[in-house]
Amino acid sequence: MADESDLQDAPFSEPAEAAVLAAEAQAAQLLAAGADLLGTRDLPAETDVLVVAEEDVVVWPSVQPGLDLKPVQLALYAGWTMALLYGTIPHAPANGLAQLPTVNELAPEERRQLELARLRHLLTRLLPGFAGSASISEVPRGGSDQQQRTRRSKLQSLNLAILTALTATRPELQLAYQLGRSLRDTANPPGGDADLGTQLARGRIAKLQEWLLTLAPEFPPRTAAVVAGSMGRWSDLAAVTVDKSGTMRAAGWLRPPSHRTQATTAETMYSYLLQQGDVWLMLLIGELGTSGLLTPEGYVSAGETALRRSAAIVRRILRHYWFGLLCVVAALGGTLFLAARYLEGAGKVWTSIACIAGSLGVSVQTIASTSARLAAEAERPVFAVAEEDAMAWAITTMPRLTLTVRSVRRLRRAGVAPTASLGRF
């Protein structure tokens, strides 16, 4: 029986050798055919070393940095994109420069084409296997009345399909989708500047702030609070300048601004609000961070706000203990009266000193201990809230309005502060 070495050293038989040669000839023919298809016969040999340039390496999109959005962020972005496609896309003003346009400078038809592609990618990642993605290609991109009616009909059906598919996921995803749609409608009111007061109404903004608070753990740290604060500032401004629901009169206006003044103010605010909405979106999806929003002046402003709030806490403590302080003062007065009436000499003096010192010691110790405990508990939250408030102002860009002194006073009471350098935008 032949061993392994004999088998290795044994020559091939003629049939086996012929089969090997035939296989090598077939492989050579396949390589030659492939070289013809590639347009060259200079294929590398087995022993050659291939050098690939770094820029020639293609990285698959699934591992590219910056695309790792959370499902809630994907749902938010999808809702924003659906509202953008359903609403009106304003024409970018022509600047007369020979340069490539940005996304916001594209013509409406080109912008819709881009946003439809974005929506397809978002839904592919948010809802794998979603059958409704196929209908995206059927949405018209033109701007005629017929195409607009068809487009909105298609988007309504797609919106219902998305909401139905989201019922099989976490409730936060459906809420985030609705939040994204509502944020876009807030930044770009469907009815134009005439609809600004409705979109920025206090009740509607309060509901959006509630949704942001619910989804805050899914967004980057502090971004939900900062965006909610910025939306509140815009709502305060609208309540004093363009609100038509009677809020101005209820707030103490003897004569609200004229309709012409409100229309001019709304038109100015409308042009600023669309850019503001882009900042809200970029913060919530993580493209912008909160770490570099504040300048040193912004931190100083946050510290001053925290001090004012801490002083308000101390005043409330004093109001809370007013009855106890009154009892201490009454007891002190009674003791001094008795000492002055029935004691004389050094005893009278020392009794008065002891009463005053004891009363002050008790009251000061009680108030100091309570204040220290509350300050220790509230110091961090008070400063954190003041810092987030300053960040909200840092990302908020409001137009310069021509208002009367009475209007400015109402704005200050509503919380709209004067122009200040609080951010890096």
Per residue in 258-294, pLDDT (tens digit) is 666 677 788 888 888 988 999 999 999 998 887 767 6
Residue for token digits 């807030």? Answer: 186
Can you read off the two tokens belonging to residue 100?
């490539």
Instruction: Show which of 134, 154, 188 is a domain's final residue.
Output: 188
Question: What percentage of the chain reaches a pLDDT higher than 70?
Answer: 52
Using left for φ > 0, alpha for ψ between -120 and 50, and beta otherwise, residue 345 falls in left
Residues, the chain: 425
Inside any domain, residue 336: yes
Express each pLDDT in 117-162 by its tens digit: 999 999 999 999 998 888 999 999 988 999 999 999 999 999 999 9
- The one-letter code for the residue type at 94 is A
Q: How high is the pLDDT of residue 65?
A: 43
Can you read off the two tokens belonging to residue 338?
């008795």
Please say if the pLDDT value at position 7 is more than 50: no
Residues 6+ apart with CB under 8 A from 28: none
Please say if the pLDDT value at position 330 is more than 80: no
For residue 85, what is the domain's CATH number?
A: 1.20.120
DSSP conformation class of 257: P
Inside any domain, residue 335: yes
Q: How far apart are CA 75 and CA 125, in angstroms?
A: 10
Express each pLDDT in 179-219 by its tens digit: 999 999 999 998 888 888 889 999 999 999 999 999 999 99
Inside any domain, residue 367: yes
Q: How far apart are CA 87 and CA 148, in angstroms?
A: 10
CB 397 within 8 Å of CB 276: yes
Inside any domain, residue 111: yes
Q: How far apart are CA 96 and CA 106, in angstroms?
A: 14
Across the chain, mean pLDDT equals 74
User: What is the Cα 318 distance to its own chain's centre?
Assistant: 39
User: Angle, to 10 degrees, between the axis of helix 223-241 and the axis of helix 202-215?
Assistant: 180
DSSP conformation class of 251: T
Residues 6+ apart with CB under 8 A from 154: 135, 138, 139, 140
User: 263-269: long-range contacts (C-beta < 8 A, 24 or more apart)?
Assistant: 263/193, 263/194, 265/241, 265/401, 266/193, 266/194, 266/196, 266/197, 266/241, 266/242, 267/193, 268/399, 268/401, 269/193, 269/196, 269/234, 269/237, 269/238, 269/241, 269/242, 269/398, 269/399
* Residue 61: band (very low, low, confident or very high) from pLDDT cuts 50, 70, 90: very low
CB 396 within 8 Å of CB 269: no
Residues 6+ apart with CB under 8 A from 183: 76, 79, 80, 83, 208, 277, 280, 281
Start-to-end Cα distance in the chain: 87
Express each pLDDT in 89-104 by its tens digit: 887 776 666 788 889 8
Q: How high is the pLDDT of residue 147?
A: 93
Q: How high is the pLDDT of residue 9?
A: 46
Measured over the CA atoms of residue 306, residue 308, residue 311 and residue 313, the dihedral's sign is negative
Inside any domain, residue 424: no
∠ CA 137-143-149, nearest 5°, is 70
Structurally, how many domains does the chain consist of? 2
Residues 6+ apart with CB under 8 A from 277: 183, 184, 186, 187, 188
Inside any domain, residue 315: yes
What is the average pLDDT across 357-380? 52
Inside any domain, residue 245: no
Question: What percentage of the chain reaches a pLDDT higher than 90?
Answer: 32
Q: How far apart are CA 180 and CA 174, in angstroms?
A: 10
**pTM metric for this prediction:** 0.65
- Bridge partners (DSSP) listed for residue 423: 294
Inside any domain, residue 255: no
Q: How high is the pLDDT of residue 24?
A: 66
**What's the domain range around 354?**
296-399
Q: How far apart are CA 128 and CA 375, in angstroms?
A: 51
Please say if the pLDDT value at position 224 is more than 50: yes
CA Rg value for the chain: 36
Can you read off the two tokens belonging to residue 314?
């101390």
Can you read off the two tokens belonging to residue 223?
């971004």
DSSP conformation class of 40: -
